[in-house]
């Protein structure tokens, strides 16, 4: 059963007519996901000098879009794929993103090794360690999913 958001518009006239419009929640989430992707593409098309001048703004925008995508993508995929395939797709995307992030962290560390005593380098070492652990966890999840050692539990 699909969750729906209902908006009721009541118009008064001599005949007393009222109308109701029903919008499925997955459609609202689909629009939110598409708009978030458009925003991310527009942010990444900006010149790097604009990023450096407004770094906190862009970080906040990207994090917001990431949370919106995380909130919406599962409902949208459930509309078109069976539950098992949705988890496989989402876990695969998470593994790919975690692996790419870990590789980028390591590349940064290799590239900036002459600044090994700086705070930025120390922070990136911590970030690399955390991303490595996240990558291992996501590989574990995708391995369990592929081997069939994965149980779906409805908590509602």
pLDDT digits (tens, 9 = 90+) for 38-69: 999 998 898 888 888 888 888 899 999 999 99
d(CA 94, CA 135): 9
CB 66 within 8 A of CB 113: no
Q: Answer whether residue 35 shows pLDDT above 90.
A: yes
Confidence category of residue 138, pLDDT binned at 50, 70, 90? confident
Q: At what angle do helices 55-80 and 83-111 cross, to 10 degrees?
A: 150
Angle at 36 between CA 4 and CA 71, to 5 degrees: 45
Report yes or no: 69 and 23 within 8 Å, Cβ to Cβ: no
Q: Does pTM surpass 0.85?
A: no
Q: Are 9 and 20 in contact (CB under 8 A)?
A: yes
Helix/strand/coil for 20: strand
Residues 147, 149: Cα–Cα separation, whole Å: 6
């Amino acid at each position: 059963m699909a969750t729906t958001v209902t908006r009721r518009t009541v118009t008064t006239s001599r005949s007393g007519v009222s109308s109701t419009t029903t919008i499925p929640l997955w459609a609202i989430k689909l629009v939110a996901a598409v708009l978030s992707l458009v925003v991310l593409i527009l942010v990444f098309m900006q010149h790097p000098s604009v990023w450096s001048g407004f770094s906190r703004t862009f970080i906040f925008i990207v994090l917001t879009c990431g949370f919106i995508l995380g909130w919406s993508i599962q409902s949208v995929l459930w509309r078109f794929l069976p539950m098992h395939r949705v988890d496989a797709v989402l876990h695969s995307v998470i593994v790919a993103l975690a692996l790419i992030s870990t590789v980028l962290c390591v590349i940064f560390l290799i590239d900036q090794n002459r600044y090994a005593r700086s705070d930025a380098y120390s922070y990136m070492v911590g970030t690399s360690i955390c991303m490595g652990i996240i990558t291992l966890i996501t590989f574990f999840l995708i391995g369990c999913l592929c081997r069939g050692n994965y149980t779906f539990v409805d908590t509602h």
